[in-house]
Amino acid sequence: MAWLFFAVFIVVPLLEIFAFIQVGSAIGAFPTLALIVLTAVVGALLVRWQGIKVLMDARQSLARDELPLAAAVHGGLLLFSGLLLLTPGFVTDAAGFLLLVPGIRSLVAARIWHSLQARTKARSTAQSRRRPDVIEGEAVEIDLDEDMVRDRELPDSRRETSPWTSRDGTTR
């Protein structure tokens, strides 16, 4: 998990800076900024169009009394694609546009699905191997008469602070 944070917060911004410098030196600063805004607008429109299609697929699945699992995964990947496209940068835009391709999105969804199945299987295997915590013991029931409790000698300090005895030492 640490490598993921390293990639997201260190590697991706460095790649974005490098891409900005390369594109900016080739076409200029203002055309670079215009290109970033254009990719965000086009990407948002494409995500919206494909999102409506995924929503229709989900409704059709529900109409057939099926769980819209594939539509939910594709919708989540489209949401992630939209976030990548709205993030300023050429590297994130490229990744966002790649996720807009249904074939690539299906491959990524299958990879995520297999990863989740493997984690679930590994977790259930680990839990089945672990022995439950068992503490063996024996319960003994003590039956005391009220007279025995009242006549029992307690130190004065415990007699005063005990919630079961009154001030005169008798049991409540």
Residue 163's pLDDT is 61
Q: What are phi and psi of 114, to 5 degrees?
A: -65, -35
DSSP string, 56-72: HHHHHHHHTT---HHHH
User: Would the pLDDT of 166 be above 70?
Assistant: no
User: Would the pLDDT of 97 be above 80?
Assistant: yes
Structure tokens at 109: 């969804």
Q: What is the pLDDT of residues 109-156, one digit of tens each?
A: 999 888 888 888 877 666 666 666 777 888 877 766 665 555 555 555
Which carries the bigger pLDDT value, residue 46 or residue 156? 46
Provide mean pLDDT across the span 88-100.
94
Residue 94's pLDDT is 95
Sign of CA dihedral 32, 38, 41, 42: negative
Provide mean pLDDT across the span 42-53.
93
Which carries the bigger pLDDT value, residue 133 or residue 78? 78
Residue 38's pLDDT is 94
Sign of CA dihedral 89, 90, 92, 96: positive
CB 74 within 8 A of CB 107: no
Full-model pTM: 0.65
Pure H helices in the chain: 2-6, 12-27, 29-63, 69-86, 90-100, 102-129, 146-151, 156-161
User: Would the pLDDT of 51 be above 60?
Assistant: yes
d(CA 28, CA 134): 71
User: Would the pLDDT of 159 be above 50?
Assistant: no
Averaged pLDDT of the chain: 83
Q: What is the pLDDT of residues 13-32, one digit of tens each?
A: 999 999 999 999 999 999 99
User: Would the pLDDT of 52 be above 90?
Assistant: yes
